[in-house]
Structure 1
Amino acid sequence: MPILADPIWPVALLAAVQYVDAAMCWKPMDVVRRCLDDVHAPQAIRPLLTPLKLAAGSGLLLGLVVPYLGVLTCASLVAYFAVAVTMHIRARDLGRNFRNAVGLGVASGLVSLCYL
């Protein structure tokens, strides 16, 4: 099956970021726990972060052969990071974690262009 995304490296990099982030959320590291606490993330949604991030990484990689899945995954990541940015703004947490959320949201949007 041919790989349809071009270039591939931004897709692979964003997928790797999602997988690493999923691992960091599995048993939340202190930095992750503090970030979630700072934005007042409900305890009920925290266990969902690992499977969501694993699904995002997988959707990005599967999108290499099924481009619409890659675009849908990127759109979902943009929405996810829009919620994260909003949570940071509401909590007046505008430091490094806010900048990371903005950057990853923008990167997700740009990676979607690789599938087009």
Structure 2
Amino acid sequence: MNLIPEPWWLPALLAGALLFDAVASVRPPAFIRDCLDGVRFPRDWWWTLIVIKTLAVGGLVVGMWVPGVGLAANVGVVVYFLCACIAHIRSRFLRQAFWINCLGMLAIALVSLTGAFLL
């Protein structure tokens, strides 16, 4: 197991995708609004997702130089998207947003975790 990512660009790719997601969530486009409404996530709490994603980006970036931080951040991102998948399944909101956005981000997070830290 690596405590510093190797290759570094896998968590960097994940950080870029999360940063884009966090910035887009500030004024969420229709597909993000539909997704959050579809899983019945309260609008008053939407801001927390931006904070979580931004902190994950920070952890992934800092983790390129500080041992263990990137690993912890990457694991946190995997858990975050596993929880999102569970929310989609429980609410039976299995539209395109689930298959592309939720499972897509989970796949990127898993590839980063296994490719940069576990192999």
> TM-score with structure 1 length normalisation?
0.87
2:86, 2:49 → 1: CA distance? Answer: 17
Q: 1:62-77, aligned counterparts within 5 Å?
A: 62-77=62-77
Distance 2:88 2:82 in 1: 10
Partner of 1:115: 117
Residues 11, 111 of structure 1: 8 Å contact kept:
yes
- Partner in structure 1 of residue 23 of structure 2: 23
Q: Tell me how far apart the structure 2 counterparts of residues 27 and 78 of structure 1 sit (CA, whole Å).
A: 24
Tell me the secondary structure at the aligned position of residue 93 of structure 2: coil
RMSD of equivalent CA atoms: 1.5
Residue 42 of structure 1 deviates from its aligned partner by 1.5
Unaligned runs of 5+ in 1: none
What letter corresponds to residue 58 of structure 2 in structure 1?
S
Equivalent runs, 1:26-105 vs 2, <5 Å: 26-99=26-99, 100-105=101-106
Unaligned runs of 5+ in 2: none
> C-alpha distance in 1, partners of 2:53/2:15?
9
**Worse overlay, 73-82 or 90-99:** 90-99
Q: 2:75 is matched by which residue type in structure 1?
A: A
Query: Shift in Å at residue 67 of structure 1?
Result: 3.0
Alpha-carbon deviations, 1:60-113, whole Å to 9, x = none?
Answer: 111101131111111111111111001111121222221231232232133123
Contact 1:64 1:115 in 2 (8 A): no
> In structure 2, what residue type is equivalent to 1:65?
W
Letter of the aligned partner of 1:110 in structure 2?
A: V
Instruction: Look up the equivalent residue of 1:67 and give its one-letter code.
Output: P
